[in-house]
Amino acid sequence: MKKNLRRMISYYKPYLGTFFLDMFFAIIASAISLVIPLVVRDITTDIPNMTPEAGMNKILLLGGLLIVLVIVQFFANYFISYIGHVMGAKMEYDMRAEIFSHYQKLSFSFFDDQKVGQLMSRITNDLFEITELLHHGPENIIISGIKIIGAFIILLGISGYLTAAAFAMLPFMFIFAYILNKRMRKAFRKNREKIAEINTQIEDNLSGIRVVKSFANEAIENEKFKVGNEGFLRAKKASYFNMGIFHSGMTAFTFLINIFVIVTGGVLMVKGLVDVPDFVAFLLYINVFTDPVRTLIDFTEQFQNGYTGFERFAEMISIVPDIQDKEDAVPLTGVKGDIEFSDVSFKYKDGAHRVLRHINLDIPEGSYVALVGSSGGGKTTLCSLIPRFYDVTSGSIKIDGKDIRDVTLKSLRDSIGIVQQDVYMFAGTIMENISYGRPGATKEEIIEAAKLANAHDFIMELPNGYDTDIGQRGVKLSGGQKQRISIARVFLKNPPILIFDEATSALDNESENIVKESLERLAKNRTTLVIAHRLSTIRNAERILVLTENGIEESGTHDELMKRNGVYASLYKFNA
């Protein structure tokens, strides 16, 4: 907990000026609250013994002073409420930006084990309460501390007996608060986890809504959501149960303090040990004393809400990316496209067996190489190792003689273009999606890329041309259209190395022919690796590699491999 609190405090650093001003005005506001009961005591003590004229003058003087104090308090509270809250929101902004940036650094292996809804919850729900905590936390502690200490000193000056009565219940109150705090923290953390689970279910359902409707499984989805929603409700009930006991108990303790003071004050007045004005002032100060206690009650709930969210935030931030630049990494420049695999083996973290075993492979610059093999043979995995989406378990991969672990990730990935079977389109326009290949490209360059990808004609037939909104994940486009836009992205990027991951396997014949033409144009004079599902599409490849669990079993042209009548020939007869 200490480590997390230190980390939380570090986010105040850019805003120390605002923070100290906020604390200054908090002190001013709390000091003014302490002055008012003193004025009441002064009036009830002195005015009855003064002449009417002198008494009236003093009342007007004190009234004017109180008005000035109210105006000062107004400005102090305005600063606390507005500027202080903005400071908290900026700190939340910084945290949200940090965790989003951190997500960008994490590797595929991390995302393989995560659910999108859970990750979204960490960046949204978990940080919702942090603004209130970061702003009001120190402020509430300062204000409450000043009021409690100030009230204690003044109360002690009025009557030691009454002060002892007022503070007699405090040890029991703090013990009660400590026990309930621990229970509330566990309950609030459970709430966060359940919210994340519900977010995951919602994201999963809405992303797959077409599948849901095509199978008419709305009722099943409702039932699945009901289970998660009921789990969240149970967690909420548990937290509210502890919160209810906490609030009720603390309120009861504050009433008991008042009761102790009233009974003790009555006894002391009967015995002549306390004057009526002192007793009235003491009762007013008891309210000044119990007010910060109530504030601390609210702060405790606020702290549990905010801190449990921050805990989950810190938990995610503490994950060290398993793929990142070395300290002495250098940019990969002037890439020709020679790729060399030297005794490369790979297995996933949770894999019981290796996906790739002792792969040795040389791909000269500008060559066109196809990878074939049965599903699960490691074709996509092998290609994913080149841009370091995963790191090799053993061995090395070199581009132009340089180990890819010795160069910067950005320069490495800038040199590689990937066209996948499952094309991802971002919400927005066609122009925005193509320009993703090279942010900052001119409209003319984007149009030229679209023409090279055989996409320009269909784009111009759309209602708003390049400014047409394509919907979430490009839902308004066909598979072939999305594929051509993804190829246009790569044309715009213009990398020396290309990877086609079964880029045409999900298309109809007409779309496949158009996309195939675009791919062939894109591959010209570049080092190209093609993962093929339909083997008829790679008959003209310069070299075909047959990948199995044993590694690269066969290598050669289509004709050479067919003559060998081995694994490739069997696959071709079955899949062509």
> CA 198, CA 203: separation in Å to the nearest integer?
9
Helix, strand counts (H, E) of the chain: 22, 10
Is the pLDDT reported for residue 505 higher than 80?
no
Sequence-ordered list of residues with C-beta below 8 angstroms from that of 537, at least 6 positions apart, any chain: 504, 512, 516
- pLDDT tens digits along 120-150: 877 877 777 777 788 778 878 887 888 778 7
Q: Is 323 within the bounds of a domain? A: no
pLDDT at 402: 93
Q: Is 28 within the bounds of a domain? A: yes
38 and 170 together in one domain: yes
380 and 494 together in one domain: yes
pLDDT at 281: 72
- pLDDT tens digits along 205-214: 776 776 676 6
**Mean residue pLDDT across the chain:** 82
Place 52 in a pLDDT band, splitting at 50, 70 and 90. confident
281 and 372 together in one domain: no
Q: For 155-163, what is the mean pLDDT?
A: 79
Of the three residues 283, 317, 351, the one that is the final residue of a domain is 317
Token pair for 349: 């973290």
Q: How many domains in the chain?
A: 2
Cβ pair 466, 459 in contact under 8 A: yes
Lowest model confidence (mean pLDDT) among 6-15, 202-211, 315-324, 409-418:
202-211
Domain containing residue 413: CATH number:
3.40.50.300
Hey, how many other C-beta atoms are within 10 angstroms of the C-beta on 77?
16
> CA 228, CA 505: separation in Å to the nearest integer?
37
516 and 444 together in one domain: yes
Q: Domain range for residue 570?
A: 339-575
For the entire predicted model, the pTM comes to: 0.74
Q: Is 325 within the bounds of a domain? A: no
The two most distant CA atoms of the chain are separated, in Å, by: 124
How is the beta sheet containing 356-363 ordered, strand by strand? 356-363, 339-346, 394-399, 402-403
> CA 410, CA 391: separation in Å to the nearest integer?
15
pLDDT at 503: 64
pLDDT at 235: 82
340, β-bridge pairs: 362, 398
366 and 308 together in one domain: no
Is the pLDDT reported for residue 507 higher than 70?
no
Long-range contacts of residues 110-117, Cβ cutoff 8 Å, at least 24 apart = 110/319, 110/321, 110/322, 112/348, 113/349, 113/350, 115/200, 115/203, 115/204, 116/200, 116/203, 116/204, 116/207, 117/196, 117/197, 117/198, 117/199, 117/200, 117/201, 117/202, 117/203, 117/204
92 and 158 together in one domain: yes
256 and 379 together in one domain: no
Cβ pair 397, 403 in contact under 8 A: yes
Q: What is the signed CA dihedral for 232, 237, 240, 244, rounded to 10 degrees?
A: 180
345 and 312 together in one domain: no
454 and 307 together in one domain: no
Q: For 251-273, what is the mean pLDDT?
A: 82
Q: Is 371 within the bounds of a domain? A: yes
Residues 27, 30, 34: CA angle, nearest 5 degrees: 130
**Mapping DSSP to helix (H, G, I), strand (E, B) and coil, where does residue 339 land?**
strand
> CA 16, CA 22: separation in Å to the nearest integer?
10
359 and 292 together in one domain: no
In this structure, the strands spanning 527-531 and 368-372 are parallel
58 and 206 together in one domain: yes
87 vs 41, residue with greater confidence: 87
- pLDDT tens digits along 84-100: 888 888 888 898 889 88
pLDDT at 219: 84
Residues 282, 263, 145: CA angle, nearest 5 degrees: 40
Cβ pair 62, 14 in contact under 8 A: no
Domain containing residue 64: CATH number:
1.20.1560.10
